[in-house]
Structure 1
Amino acid sequence: MGFIYNILKNSRSDKDGNFFLELERILGFKPKKNAIYKKAFTHRSMNIKDKKGNPINYERLEFVGDAMLGSVIASYLYSKVPHGDEGYLTKMRSKVVSRQHLNELGKDLQLIDLVQSRIPTTNFGNNIHGNLFEALVGAIYLDKGYKSCEKFIYKKVINPHVDIEKLEGKVISYKSLLIEWCQKEKKTFEYEIYEDTGNDALKHFSVKLKIDEKVISKGRATSKKKAEEKASKRAFFAFQREMTKSS
């Protein structure tokens, strides 16, 4: 029994050693509170609890990381764009911390390779990448404090990816943009879900987008939200010249 215990113990130590070597490569510094980083990469499917019965997984760290990203990005934009009003700064921050962008950051860092889960990583949705990135940022803040967290965000997010001019032209939601334009121009709009007769393995949703009671575009995807966004993107390009003139 002692021999088997030592094998298991050594095996677990090797895994932890590899985990922290890879983590140090990503962070650029040696962590102090190792447990918080293990937590940042523990999926709820592991069903682990602490001595008080509280769940150990990355979900609460996501909350902290989201707040830290918002704070650092807001401070950067405030100083970088002195002419920007509250609405402008809010939109720009949303573009930097959009789910799509956070997912890309998480993928670039290959954070999913570090996650502990009882579910195969191939079964996760795309948002797992952004969730892990937020959890990692939250762990850095709780381990090293605001300044170190800010430095990491500048290194991984702001310096390589935040270009004010490009961000100004970036659309994060065609649906929001289209609705805003319709309301401004006093146009009626309606997203109408209709029967999808496709034979796909995954269920799909189809949407017709009507503007002033005329079908402008259609979209089809694995969720209503994605289908609406596809239809909105097609409508945006149909009305782009008019929308540019009115903006």
Structure 2
Amino acid sequence: MAFFGFFSKKEKPPEHSSFATSIFHVLGFYPTNEDLYKDALVHRSVIRNRKELSNNERLEFLGDSVIDLVVAEWLMEQFKNEPEGVLTQLRAKIVNRKNLNDCSIKMGLDKLIKTDGKIKLRNTSIPGNCLEAVIGAVYLDVNLKKASEVIQKVILGHIDAEDLISNTTNFKSRLLEWSQQEKKQIEFVISEIFESEKKLFEAEVVIGGESISKAIGKNKKEASQKASKQAVESLSIS
């Protein structure tokens, strides 16, 4: 009877450390190798004078590449007809530091980050960097599939694909937004031209009195967008 009772007992669930439980609440699973996640959440300011300890920079390097890969694959699926240049711009918009910072803070990762105590996280890129490092830790601790699931949930899950493509390909809006941020005076000069007796429109982008770009279109809107696209590329506006 004792032998039977031994097998009938419910198996005791594994005990997890408080740190592993914190990771579970943030990522939705318990880590196998806790040290990877601990390293991912240690900023270099903590170990400035303690060379024997690890920080998150190597994991950040790895996680950055994993995020780029997963986001690129997602964009390929979402926008099957967009050229490489547009996809590159879309990815840059998704993985920019502000967006990664916001994602990190929303998921509560900032509460687990260790710094020297003198740094205010919200005024730095540290939350986003740590998110990249944690993704690197997930990749090493589990696999690419699990890392992809986390990225889909915490980064891509809040993105509206239609809004993303609309805001990214509206070059005139991006140019106007940039001019406001940089406090630059911008002007769109539209003129009519004729080619083979066909009326077209030429748009010129003038910033601070300097001509930046010119383009021709079938209508004013098309010409303005083409000229704005040239200006955005010329000024390296992300």
Q: Shorter-chain TM-score category?
A: 0.5 to 0.7
User: Which residue of the partner structure matches residue 166 of structure 1?
Assistant: 163
User: Which residue of the partner structure matches residue 117 of structure 2?
Assistant: 119
The AA in structure 1 aligned to 2:144 is Y
User: Which residue of the partner structure matches residue 23 of structure 1?
Assistant: 23
What SS is found at the alignment partner of 1:78? Answer: helix
The total of aligned residue pairs comes to: 181
The AA in structure 1 aligned to 2:37 is Y
User: Which residue of the partner structure matches residue 222 of structure 1?
Assistant: none
Is 1:65–1:135's contact at 8 Å kept on the other side of the alignment? yes
What SS is found at the alignment partner of 1:169? Answer: helix
Q: Deviations over 1:43-74 (max 9, x none)?
A: 11221799xx6651111211111111100010
User: Which residue of the partner structure matches residue 57 of structure 2?
Assistant: 59
User: Which residue of the partner structure matches residue 199 of structure 1?
Assistant: none
Q: Deviations over 1:74-96 (max 9, x none)?
A: 01111221101111111111111
* Cα 1:121/1:48, change in 2 over 3 Å: closer
Is 1:48–1:57's contact at 8 Å kept on the other side of the alignment? no
With normalisation by structure 1, the TM-score equals 0.62
Q: What is the root-mean-square deviation in Å for CA atoms of aligned residues?
A: 3.5
Match of 2:104 among 86, 103, 106: 106
CA distance in 1, matches of 2:140, 2:159: 25
Is 2:41–2:113's contact at 8 Å kept on the other side of the alignment? yes
With normalisation by structure 2, the TM-score equals 0.64
Shift of 1:18: 2.8
Is 1:95–1:170's contact at 8 Å kept on the other side of the alignment? no
Is 2:110–2:127's contact at 8 Å kept on the other side of the alignment? yes
Shift of 1:147: 0.8
CA distance in 2, matches of 1:137, 1:110: 15
* Cα 1:72/1:59, change in 2 over 3 Å: same
Map residues 33-182 of structure 1 onto 2, 5 A cutoff: 33-47=33-47, 56-122=54-120, 125-158=123-156, 160-170=157-167, 174-175=177-178
Percentage identity across paired residues of the two chains: 30
